Amino acid sequence: MRFGRLDLNLLVALDALLTERSVSMAADRLCLSQSATSSALGRLREYFEDDLLVLKGRHMILTARAEELIDPVRTVLEQIRTTVAVAPPFDPATAERVIRIMASDYSTEVLLAGVIADLERDAPNIRFEIHPMHDSPIEAIERGYIDLLLTIDYAISADHPSQLLFEDDYVVVGSRDNPAMSVPMTRELYFELGHITARFGKARVPAFDDWFVRRQKQQRRIEVVAPTFLSLPGLIAGTNRVATMHRRMAEVFVRSLPLVMREIPFAIPPIRETIQWNIANNNDRALRWMVDQLLAAASACTPPERNVIPLHTGSAIDRSMIEAEYRMNHPQR
């Protein structure tokens, strides 16, 4: 690398020469031959238009110009070492940073909101931008539009690092005065009812449960398509419609709204919420710290009781097949 006419690689050689005041000893320090070190000294003399080191008797001494360069050269190299070669320590209490996270409103509700609230105290100068899910989340990661992607493991890229955070499954949620919610939720009843579901982006990408249920031999009667997960409870209340909802989110709303939840009467695999970041940011200490905060919060949450019918024998194979089919239907962009 050059700055003007100076090859910056020569600064290391210059520092060694100014310190050792000997071509041979500087060569040993640099692990170079004496001829290569002499060549470097020649180029330095040409650049500074000064001899830098001159022979006096049996020893070499520094010229006045060389004496002037000792501290500035050492300072420059130390600055390069501390700012480039060695990553600065990350202190959340004093760090100033914007962290951009793409996440669904579901992920924000059940995990992200609580973590960000806690970090107001622990990391007061870190700011957050929450980006809504759209049609091309992997492209957003790769182009640097976002720092972290919080989504299901089926939707992440194998080209970038990721961390599994938690699992969740699904329940049927309906109004407390919905007659269908006062009797056992059978498969037949489930498919007879009117449903509300969420789809996202310009392409109206279905949520995982919506996509999965479409694979059943029977089809749901979708009567309302909502733009977000958080809009589902309000659209259900006071109606005879139901929604298939993440259990963690459903548990929040049945405590505060006149809603009840029932188990889904057929096998549906749980989702695995995962955080992903660009491989180029793998050593970004602020992002790795944020991932650790999310993982700690997810691990501290008590897993919900799961009564949903599990996948049948060979579930690992089934899950692999489901993932392959999902990725085929949702190509990453």
Reply yes or no on domain 170-263 having CATH 3.40.50.1000: no
pLDDT at 62 over 80: yes
Q: pLDDT of 243-252, one tens digit each?
A: 999 999 999 9
Q: Report CA 251 to chain centroid distance, whole Å.
A: 27
CB-based contact 216:189 (threshold 8 Å): no
Number of H helices, E strands in the chain: 13, 15
Q: What does DSSP assign to residue 240?
A: S
Q: pLDDT band at 330, cuts 50/70/90?
A: low
97-167+271-301 folds as D-Maltodextrin-Binding Protein; domain 2 (3.40.190)
Give whole-number Cα distances, 140 to 148, 162, 245, 291, in Å. 9, 15, 27, 18
Residue type, 27: A
Instruction: Report residue 72 as tokens.
Output: 């500035």
End-to-end Cα, the chain, rounded Å: 36
Instruction: Report residue 164 as tokens.
Output: 């599994």
Residue type, 77: L
2-85 folds as Arc Repressor Mutant, subunit A (1.10.10)
- Mean pLDDT score across all residues of the chain: 86
The SS3 call for residue 72 is helix
113 vs 103: CA distance, rounded Å: 11
240 vs 189: CA distance, rounded Å: 12
Q: Report CA 260 to chain centroid distance, whole Å.
A: 34
The SS3 call for residue 37 is helix
Q: Choose the weakest-confidence range: 4-18, 129-143, 277-291.
A: 4-18
Q: pLDDT of 141-196, one tens digit each?
A: 988 889 999 999 988 988 899 999 999 999 999 999 999 999 999 999 999 999 99
Q: Report CA 59 to chain centroid distance, whole Å.
A: 58
Q: pLDDT of 78-94, one tens digit each?
A: 777 666 655 667 899 99
Please give the model's pTM, rounded to 2 decimal places: 0.69
Q: What does DSSP assign to residue 89?
A: P
pLDDT of residue 313: 36
Q: What does the chain come to in residues?
A: 333
pLDDT of residue 169: 93
The residues spanned by each domain of the chain are 2-85, 97-167+271-301, 170-263
170-263 shares the fold of 97-167+271-301: yes
pLDDT of residue 304: 53
Q: Report CA 227 to chain centroid distance, whole Å.
A: 24
261 vs 251: CA distance, rounded Å: 8
pLDDT at 57 over 90: no
pLDDT at 268 over 90: no
